[in-house]
Amino acid sequence: MRILLLGGTGQIGFELQRSLAPLGEIIAPGRAILDLMNKPAVEDYLNKKSLDLIVNAAAWTDVDKAEDHKVAAQRLNTDLPEQLAQYSNTNKIKLIHYSSDYVYKGSGSKPWNENSPIGPLNFYGQTKIEGDELIQQSSLNYLIFRISWVYSARGNNFMNSMLKLGKNKTKLNIVSDQIGTPTPARLIAEITALAIHAQLDSGLYHLTPRGETSWYGFAKAIFNLGLKAGLKLTLSSKNLNPILTKEYPTPARRPQNSRMDSTKLESALNIELPDWKSQLDLTFNECIK
């Protein structure tokens, strides 16, 4: 199997290179080889390859900067997925793509499922839902995994930011009224590999661990692990100050409810997704090695 992996240097892409390796040959062009912002260049690259599967982990993920860089965000989150879907449909190969909890309205406290009404609060979320819909319209053979609060042992993410700030801060304000599920990139990649091997039916699936927490709760768990590991931090969980979303204004609005129901995926693959806390333990231990 020849697998084209886009976004291979990102958090999810890095983990995918490891998890997908046993399934076949992975082609993961970097920016120097393939400029994903250049539609003709992508078309030319695709037409020169003989592929069995496309895994698209490329995306514009900076939620705030998307408000000011709309052309770039639109290209990567909407236009590129459509282009890949059209190619996959024409060539009768599967496309795997990653979406976001930000496509939902972010209100209430009930977990969103795959049939929940959409209602993005920011431009990033709008580009993601448009990308999802264009894939569904353009291809008959696709998997869309909606994920949330992605982090990993490497790269820029909430866990690594907390540990970095913990080395020189003595107090930190963390939002406590946004609720979701921290999802490690490693788990996303592992489930992706399992879905390919199991020939999961085409469709839209939520992919997050079990359980829920706030950013404040996530931060507390990170610093408690740091304390147990003996890390030299000037900040502990006792010095975290919970604040409301309105006390921490950002250019892009954030959903307060990012809970995701992954029952459909568990049932389809006959698995039970792990709890977010156990996944944090694994990712944290990998980070400090």
Residues belonging to the active site: 124
DSSP the chain: -EEEEESTTSHHHHHHHHHSGGGSEEE---TTT--TT-HHHHHHHHHT---SEEEE------TTGGGT-HHHHHIIIIIHHHHHHHHHHHHT-EEEEEEEGGGB---SSSPB-TTSPB--SSHHHHHHHHHHHHHHHH-SSEEEEEE-SEE-SSSSSHHHHHHHHTTT-S-EEEE-S-EE--EEHHHHHHHHHHHHHTTPPSEEEE---B--EEHHHHHHHHHHHHHHHT---S--GGGEEEE-GGGS--SS---SB--B--HHHHHHHT--PPBHHHHHHHHHHHHH-
Burial of 29 (0-12, 13-18, 19+ CB in 10 A): middle
Nearest to 191 by CA among 101, 100, 96: 96
Rounded Cα distance between 27 and 59, Å, is 18
Q: Do residues 158 and 215 make contact, with C-beta atoms less than 8 angstroms apart? A: yes
